[in-house]
Amino acid sequence: MPGEIYFKTLAQLQEALASKSISSVELTRDHLDRIQAVDGRIQAFNSWDEEDCLRQAEASDERRAAGRIKGPLDGIPVGVKDVIAVRDQPLTCSSRMLEHFVSPYDATVISRLKNAGAVLLGRLNMDEFAMGSSTENSAIKITFNPWDTSRVAGGSSGGSAAAVAAGELPVSLGSDTGGSIRQPASFCGVVGLKPTYGLVSRFGLVAFASSLDQIGPLTRTVGDAGRMLQVIAGHDPRDSTSIDTSPPDYSEGLAEKKGPWKLGVPQEYFAEGLDPEVKAAIEAAIDWYADRGCEIVEISLPHMHLAISVYYIIATAEASSNLARYDGVRYTHRSDRAGDVVDLYFKSRAEGFGEEVKRRIILGTYVLSSGYYDAYYLRAQKIRSLIRQDFTKAFAKVDGLLTPTSPFVSFKAGEKTRDPLAMYLSDIYTISANLAGIPGISLPCGFNSQGLPIGLQILGEPMEEANLLAIAHSFERAHDFTDRHPNPAPPD
């Protein structure tokens, strides 16, 4: 295959494999070489097994030669966030608590990737147990931004976004609890899709906040996000929250000319705190849609100002419950300094969890405790219903919502680590989609004066990913933002 392949799209690589201008072994080896060349500066990967990767690629080439292609991803390297279970691979969640744990089974999304023929290339770094917005909370390493390696990649799926942006992978999987796919996608200049809650199975995803978590793809283009969603979406009886539905053909919808649409602009997303250069880029994108014939409607989501408070009550409460299983007794980190069983429990958790995870467990335990449950958790759930109703009313008037993904571009490593509240505000524009269970996508829409990517977020109705992708694809196709790529350099 002539030319550099590191920044080819999934669609281009599928065509190259089909035409046999490149083999899966060659494609996989090239990406392993790329990882060796740049990951020392990016630090996107927690681990990979070169021998196993090449063995998967060889099997793909043998299938293709015999005319027994498994599916649309046969021979394509895919990276996996280290919170999704892959049989016989590490499952660390970037935490000391699980640093030696190897998964005994595959998540449903992994089974679907394997059935489609994907080459699983490695485990990607993240904020510990998906709790963070910069991948600085990882117990293993900090992942840096390929556009400026003195800056963060975002979080919690920072490794998944940075690996795609740096050309180490064509596609990856992340998880999104409050923006953890979309925000790092914005920071790293790639596409990140959070599907409707329940469209993609959570079986095999290590739980942070069960009513908010959702797995989704990070890719170079909107079309590639649709191709990945096609593989991983669908009903799973092993996930009680999985929606019993048959997804449409997402790629077919992108080939059709659609629109113009009626698009809403929520005024709450353009209030104080939005960086002027980010605001200018989003407004330019809104103007483009208007020039294309779309009707732009200013709307209001009156309860959005409560979203941060509601999110950090519900998410921490669910985290407190979900993380109670890590007790030092079974498969997790076990302290060697404990005197008895009770001491073992306390010391193992104290040693195994990082500061941010401890903070969220303490907050969650507090809001669930006797005397505070009604005042905090129950009230937060009621306001969550109001936030969901705000979106329902908005989508009765418009086909989609246009907003910034983040109020600012990627920030310097260490800049916000001492101020948890400032870090939490990184997700102010993304968390409401998780509370409402609606789909959202982030795609590049410009760069600031320092050459850092800016992300446009588009939010859609539940189960309307096809329309959401079409709205995003129309903008992407008319611009060259996804054609620009970083050249990772060491930090100053």
Annotated catalytic residue: which of 23, 24, 60, 81?
81
Do residues 117 and 60 lie in contact, with contact meaning Cβ atoms separated by under 8 Å?
Answer: yes
Q: Which residues of 189-205 are buried (b: 16+ CB within 10 A; e: fewer)?
A: bbbbbbbbbbbbbbbbb
Do residues 404 and 282 lie in contact, with contact meaning Cβ atoms separated by under 8 Å?
Answer: yes
Q: Is 420 exposed, middle or buried (0-12, 13-18, 19+ CB in 10 A)?
A: middle
Q: Check if 321 is active-site.
A: no
- d(CA 441, CA 458) in angstroms, rounded, equals 5
Do residues 380 and 314 lie in contact, with contact meaning Cβ atoms separated by under 8 Å?
Answer: yes
- d(CA 249, CA 230) in angstroms, rounded, equals 7
Dihedral sign, Cα of residue 286, residue 290, residue 294, residue 296? positive
Nearest to 361 by CA among 353, 373, 372, 371: 353
Do residues 266 and 478 lie in contact, with contact meaning Cβ atoms separated by under 8 Å?
Answer: no
Do residues 341 and 461 lie in contact, with contact meaning Cβ atoms separated by under 8 Å?
Answer: no
Q: Check if 103 is active-site.
A: no
Torsion over CA of 41, 43, 44 and 45, rounded to 10 degrees?
Answer: 130
- d(CA 436, CA 416) in angstroms, rounded, equals 27
DSSP string across 83-138: TB--TTSB--TTSGGGTT-B-SS--HHHHHHHHTT-EEEEEE--SGGG--SSS-S-
Residue 388: C-alpha distances to residues 310, 340, 435 (Å): 12, 47, 7
Annotated catalytic residue: which of 60, 134, 156, 320?
156
Amino acid found at 3: G
Do residues 169 and 203 lie in contact, with contact meaning Cβ atoms separated by under 8 Å?
Answer: no
Nearest to 58 by CA among 27, 89, 79: 27
Do residues 132 and 423 lie in contact, with contact meaning Cβ atoms separated by under 8 Å?
Answer: yes
Give the residue carrying structure tokens 């999104």. 176
Q: Check if 156 is active-site.
A: yes
- d(CA 208, CA 27) in angstroms, rounded, equals 34
Give the residue carrying structure tokens 């931004």. 145
Ramachandran sector of residue 37 (left: φ over 0; alpha: ψ -120 to 50; beta: rest):
alpha
**Phi, psi at 278, each rounded to 5°:** -65, -45
Query: In 323-449, where do the E strands start and end?
Result: 400-404, 440-447
Annotated catalytic residue: which of 134, 138, 160, 180?
180
Which of the residues are catalytic?
Answer: 81, 156, 180
